[in-house]
Amino acid sequence: MSTTRTPLRTEIPESDKWDLSPLFPTDAEWEAEFAKLQSSFAGVAKFRSHLAESPAALAECLEFEKSIDQLVDQLNQYAALSTAGDSADATALSREAKLDGLLVKVGEAFSFISPEIQQIPDDRFAEFLADSALADWTTPLQKLRRNKPHTLTAGEERLLALGSSAMRGHSETFSQLTNVDMKFGVLKDTEGNERELTQSSFSSFLQQRDPAVRKAAFHQFYREFSDHQFSLAAGLANSIRADVFYARARNHASAREAALFSDDVPVAIYDNLISTVRANLAPLFEYFELRRRVLKLEEIHHYDTYVTMVESVKTNVPWDEAVGKVVAALEPLGSEYTAAMAHGLRDGRWCDRYENKGKRSGAFSYGTYSSPPYIMMNYKADVFSDVYTLAHEAGHSMHTWHSSRAQLYQNHGYPIFLAEVASTFNEMLLTEHLLKTTSDPAMKAFILNRQIDDLRGTLYRQTMFAEFERETHAAEERGDAVTLEGFKKIYRSLLTDYFGPKFSIDEELDLECLRIPHFYSAFYVYKYATGISAAAALARQVLETGDASRYLGFLKSGGSKFPVETLREAGVDMASPEPVQATLDLFARRVKELSALIG
């Protein structure tokens, strides 16, 4: 018997960690640029009360703001990535806290810009937009002007900027509590080896073949959440209250409408997603029953929904092999795409690959206009879904890579609504590639099982999360108490609806709503569901036509248009239920294919 210990950050080889030197070669250089920001941002004051004087005056202010934004991007990225790598690193935490404090002052100093622009009379604003001095700023100014009904006076904007850090502190508390303070103990795996149970290794335990191991991991993991449930619920409640506060302060009808406004996404798209998914729950219940039958379980629990149903296939995919699979799958996008991605993942050290003590759980991509599009992972060779996670995050990174090269700084930043298209598109192509390159029926079944679980987790599960966010925010807006018991009641009702009458729902699963990080950035998760639906349509387009030009054009568009319009130009109309329905039909078809192979 052996014990596997999570390594310290210092024990991870440098080649397996991201290289942050393109941002700042040393901490000292970060400090020097931080000092530069401290001494320069106040220069914006000279523009106060002068923005309406001329297009040239407004352009000069916007260019100054851009220079500060780009400096903030680099400082923030370096600080955030350092903390993500080790949340217990006191120096990194201090650096991030120091920057957060300064950014409150920066936000306060710049808070007059939007109100002044909004106060320019409509006819004069139209003249400004027609002037060549503002030619590079037409799109962001038009987007900004949409916010006129929701922009407050300069004094009120200053107060909101001053309070932003304090109002959003619950997210940092959640991160520190769940990533650093909470301890889940050790557990024996199927081979009898003792392994540390962590936020990251939890998924690995749930994919163990022995149902007793899965059950033990589930209950041990949630025991720690149960011990902290009141604190976690208080943090989530404060997050919801902050969302409602900001929505009301800015004269939005609801927190949900406030969140969707910036992307110009109609509330109907959100509601149609939920109603369309709810109308197609029968194939999901059919899949749960197939899973129960194939795994020879008397009853199926949540901890039984992640282990592969294809026992004869054992996977162990080292990092380099995973990169090779992803690169090969994306060859339909052309050599420029695959060469850039392969270099970044293999030699460019874009990715921080493996788990270490104190590292943030999960995975993400974080790129800026002038930096490499970094990826954080907690890659495990025995978790085949991590290959998909790599493809997913690489999709985000290559989206950043393309948009940064094709757009001006002020137009390159794409919204999350589009980001989740690029990431899940990569997963779609990976599945098609793997299905085409295997003749082994067991492996084919394994891949089908993987795609079904991906669709279940991204379309069904994220829609359930989206409904939870809708209901909890609506409760706060009605004046109902948002408490631990209220959260559990809403979540239990959703679990019952989305898992069906034959599913055994453990009491502890009610606490899952307290451990989802995205709930602290509300009205985000629905974009996973709409994203995978749009991605499925675009993947069909590329594979059936052999032409990737419209898709690559989508990547290059960045944030130059609103997302629904961008997707429509790429060939997908998200205002219609068709993309969501087609993806649900794909799920149902895959379930039947899998059942024919192993059912």
d(CA 232, CA 498): 24
Between vectors from CA 68 to CA 52 and to CA 423, what angle results, nearest 5°? 110
Q: How many residues does the chain have?
A: 599
Q: Are 398 and 341 in contact (CB under 8 A)?
A: yes
Q: Using an 8 Å Cβ cutoff, are 344 and 371 in contact?
A: no
**Is the separation of the CB atoms in 427 and 454 below 8 Å?**
yes
Counts of helices then strands in the chain (DSSP H, E): 26, 6
- Contact 589/450 with Cβ under 8 angstroms? no
Per the structure block, which two tokens stand in for 145?
Answer: 């002007």
Distances (CA, A) of 123 to 98, 145, 280, 425: 43, 13, 50, 43
Query: What one-letter code names the amino acid at 262?
Result: S
CA distances from 166 to 93, 241, 423 (A): 17, 13, 32
Q: Are 361 and 378 in contact (CB under 8 A)?
A: yes
- Please state, in angstroms and rounded to a whole number, the distance separating the CA atoms of residues 86 and 92: 8
Q: Supply 79's token pair.
A: 């600080």
| Catalytic choice (96, 355, 393, 476) | 393
Using CA atoms, how far apart are residues 163 and 107, in angstroms rounded to an integer?
10
Joined together, the tokens standing for residue 318 give: 């080292």
Indicate the SS3 state at residue 499.
helix
116 is catalytic: no
Distance, CA of 385 to chain centre: 16
Comparing CA positions, the residue from 260, 267, 550, 549 lying closest to residue 415 is 260
Q: Could you tell me which residues come within 8 angstroms of residue 4 by beta carbon, excluding any fewer than 6 positions away?
A: 193, 194, 195, 196
Expressed in angstroms, the distance from the first to the final Cα of the chain is 36
What is the full DSSP assignment across 327-359? HHHTGGG-HHHHHHHHHHHHTS--EE-S--TTP
Please return the burial class of 353, using the count of CB atoms within 10 Å of its CB with bins 0-12, 13-18 and 19+: buried
- Distance, in Å, from the CA atom of 54 to the CA atom of 49, rounded to the nearest integer, reads 12
| Cβ atoms within 10 Å, residue 249 | 16
CB 138 within 8 A of CB 199: no
- Surface-to-core class of residue 462, CB atoms within 10 Å of its CB (0-12 exposed, 13-18 middle, 19+ buried): buried
Half-sphere exposure at residue 427, Cβ-oriented, CA atoms within 13 angstroms? 32
Residue tagged 């695959």 (tokens): 338
Bridge partner list, 365? 375
**Nearest CA among 39, 431, 380 for reference residue 205:** 380
Give the catalytic positions in this structure.
393
